[in-house]
Homo-oligomer: A and B are copies of this chain.
């Protein structure tokens, strides 16, 4: 499909008529955080919360029984791939795993449009991970079935941003009024860029804590500034941690620095330990997109404020919601 906003799909033979009346995302693609209004988010998170309740109550249920997901990963991502697989299976659907694209005929000169037009003969929805920016938009242009972008290079990874926001809602029961601090590599992390954009739909305050060379890009700051979001930049977490409701940690990679000394001089400031957390509120959360390496000490894992593993679980519910919605079953 060519556009974010599409009429309900008429040409899908797999769903009986009437199945999708009133289903606002039926047949649509999930390509970018930019496609969502605040009302859309309310709807998505409402469905995601229902998914949480159902999984906690019965584990799995047959909402998508008979539906097939093609999990098309041009680059490996066990975490995201497993999450979508589980989401489909917990809804009673099936998965076609396609993980070895680089070895297969799919990659031997075949264009992405041809690949998705082949796979939609076999599946009802396609989840696409691709190393090139814009791949999911291209795929959606040619596909009749819904495409869900599971990351396209340094471009978008909308389901990650949605699960990050859903985590905040489920953990803190609000977004408006919160102070969110983003820490670490804010320059290259598409995760924090997408989350910042989504958060700008809310009445929020943002702190950015990063080494000088890894600051939040000026265009994003300008974009949020135009929406009236209060933002401030810092190099020391201590300056803002005490007033933080959500601390979003990302990794500072040694390779980003020109010389090892520069890295050594800052790295300690971006590692979260129980000691660091002493000045933090009792009711706040620490998030991380995972995988982490050293940026959060394992000693913090038992702290109830450490939300990063629960964050993975919220991701399951968000992906269940999105799959059900685009297939007209939510």
Contacts and interface: CB of A to CB of B under 8 A. Distances in A.
Contact of A110 (B76, B121, B292, B315): B292
Nearest to A60: B66
A292 B114 contact: yes
Contacts of A14: 55-56, 58-59
Interface stretch (A86-94, A200-208, A277-285): A86-94
B105 A76 contact: yes
B293 A110 contact: yes
A298 B59 contact: no
Given A60-B66, A61-B66, A76-B100, A114 B82 contact: no
B89 A94 contact: yes
A104 interface: yes
A313 interface: yes
7 tightest A-B CB contacts, nearest first: A60-B66, A86-B122, A110-B291, A14-B59, A89-B94, A78-B104, A76-B104
Q: How many copies does the complex hold?
A: 3
22 contacts: A14-B55, A60-B65, A60-B67, A61-B66, A68-B86, A70-B82, A76-B100, A77-B104, A78-B105, A79-B105, A82-B96, A82-B122, A83-B121, A85-B96, A86-B123, A99-B99, A99-B100, A105-B291, A110-B291, A113-B298, A114-B291, A121-B313
Nearest to A313: B121
A101 interface: yes
Interface residues of A, number: 59
Interface of A: 13-15, 55-61, 65-68, 70, 76-79, 82-83, 85-86, 89-90, 94, 96-101, 103-106, 108-111, 113-114, 117-119, 121-124, 290-293, 298, 309, 312-313, 315-316
A291 B117 contact: no
A116 to B, nearest CB: 10
A109 B59 contact: no
A119 B313 CA distance: 9
Nearest to A106: B78
- Chain B CB within 10 Å — which of A65, A101, A118 has the most? A118
Given A78-B106, A121-B315, 20 more contacts: A13-B56, A13-B57, A60-B67, A60-B68, A77-B104, A78-B104, A79-B105, A79-B106, A79-B118, A82-B98, A85-B122, A99-B99, A106-B291, A109-B293, A114-B291, A114-B292, A118-B312, A121-B312, A121-B313, A122-B316
